[in-house]
Chain A
Amino acid sequence: MKRRMIAILLALVMLFGLVACGNNGTTNNGGTTNNSGEGGDTTEPEGETFRIGTYLQLTGSNSVAGNSGKQGIELAVKQINEQGGFNGATVVVENFDTQGSTEEAVKVVQKMLSGDNYDAIIGSVNSNEVSACIGYINEAKVYNFGLGTSATWMEDDSMIYTFRASCNNNRIAPLDVDLIKELGYDSVAIMNGTDDTGASTADAFEAACEEKGVTVTTRQQCDSEDTDFTGQISQIISSDPDCVFMSLIGTTFGPFVKQLRNSGYKGMIGCKECFSAEYQNVAGGSPNTDYIFYVYPYVAYTDINDCEIPNMKAFLEAYQAEYGELPAHESAYRGYDTMMAMWEASKIAGANDDESLREATHQVVCEGLGGTMDFTDGSREAYSDFYSFVLVGGKDILVEDWLADGGYEEYLATTGRDR
Chain B
Amino acid sequence: MQTFLTLLISGLVIGGIYGLIALGYSLIYRASGLMSFAQGDMVTLGAYLGIFYYVWLGLPILVALVLTFITAFLFGMALERGVIRTLLKKNVIPIYIVLATIAVSYIIQNLAQAVFGSTTQWFPQVFPVANLTLFGVTNQTEAYASFVISIILMIALHLFMTKTKFGTAMRGSAMDPLAAESCGINTSLSTGITWGLAASIASLAGMMLGPMYGVFTTLGSTIGRKGFAGAVVGGYGNMYGAMIGGLLLGLAETFVAGYIDGTYKNQIAYIILIVFLFVKPTGIFNEKAIQDV
Contact = CB atoms under 8 A, between A and B. Distances in A.
A59 B262 CA distance: 28
A231 B254 contact: yes
Contacts of A264: 138
Interface string B254-281: 1111110111011000000000000000
Contact of B120 (A19, A221, A231, A254): A254
A235 interface: yes
B225 to A, nearest CB: 10
B216 A61 contact: yes
A282 B257 CA distance: 23
B6 A26 contact: no
Binding site secondary structure of chain B: helix
Given A14-B74, A61-B216, A230-B258, A221 B263 contact: yes
Contacts of A251: 120, 213-214, 216, 218
Interface in B203-226: 209, 212-214, 216-219, 221-223
Given A22-B114, A262-B140, A229 B119 contact: no
A238 B118 contact: no
Contacts of A24: 114-115, 117
A59 B110 contact: yes
Where chain A touches its partner, the secondary structure class is: helix
A35 to B, nearest CB: 10
A221 B117 contact: no
Contacts of B52: 18, 21
Interface in B234-268: 253-259, 261-263, 265-266
B10 A282 contact: no
Interface in A172-200: 194
A60 B118 CA distance: 7
Contacts of A228: 10, 14, 254
B49 to A, nearest CB: 8
B119 A328 contact: yes
Given A24-B114, A64-B120, A66-B118, 11 more contacts: A14-B75, A15-B111, A63-B118, A67-B118, A227-B212, A230-B14, A235-B257, A254-B120, A255-B213, A264-B138, A329-B119
Contacts of A254: 120, 213-214
Contact of A64 (B75, B118, B125, B258): B118
Given A14-B75, A235-B262, A230 B118 contact: no
Contacts of B3: 234, 238
B135 interface: no
Contacts of A15: 111
A281 interface: yes
A238 B125 CA distance: 28
Nearest to B258: A231
Interface of B: 3, 6-7, 10-11, 14, 52, 56, 71, 74-75, 77-78, 81-82, 109-111, 113-120, 122, 125, 130-131, 138-140, 209, 212-214, 216-219, 221-223, 253-259, 261-263, 265-266
Nearest to A263: B138
A255 B212 contact: yes
Contacts of B259: 231
Interface stretch (A2-10, A106-114, A359-367): A2-10
Most chain B CB within 10 A, of A19, A66, A225, is at: A225
Given A8-B82, A235-B262, A264-B138, A59 B6 contact: no
A172 to B, nearest CB: 24
Interface string A250-266: 11001100110011100
A61 B222 CA distance: 12
Contacts of B115: 18-19, 21-24
- Size category of the binding interface on chain A: 35 or more
Contacts of A3: 81
A284 B75 contact: no
Contact of A232 (B71, B119, B257): B257
A75 interface: no
A329 B119 CA distance: 9
A219 B123 CA distance: 30
A222 B265 contact: yes
Given A22-B114, A234-B258, A254-B214, A227 B78 contact: no
B119 A278 contact: yes
Contacts of A229: 257, 262
Interface of A: 3-4, 7-8, 10-11, 14-15, 18-19, 21-26, 58-61, 63-64, 66-67, 194, 220-223, 225-232, 234-235, 238, 250-251, 254-255, 258-259, 262-264, 278, 281-282, 284, 328-329
B206 to A, nearest CB: 12
Contacts of B257: 220, 229-232, 234-235
A32 to B, nearest CB: 18
A289 to B, nearest CB: 12
15 contacts: A3-B81, A10-B78, A63-B113, A223-B265, A227-B212, A227-B222, A228-B14, A230-B6, A230-B7, A231-B262, A254-B214, A255-B213, A264-B138, A281-B122, A284-B130
A225 B77 CA distance: 29
Contacts of A59: 110, 113, 118, 217
A230 B117 contact: no
Contact of A226 (B81, B109, B113, B265): B265
B214 A25 contact: no
Nearest to B125: A284
Given A61-B216, A225-B221, A234-B6, A10 B74 contact: yes
A58 B117 CA distance: 10
A262 B137 CA distance: 10
A66 B259 CA distance: 36
A24 to B, nearest CB: 6
A25 B113 contact: yes
A221 to B, nearest CB: 5
A276 to B, nearest CB: 9
A10 B52 CA distance: 18
Contacts of B131: 262
B78 A7 contact: yes
Contacts of A14: 71, 74-75, 78
Given A263-B6, A284-B125, A22 B116 contact: yes
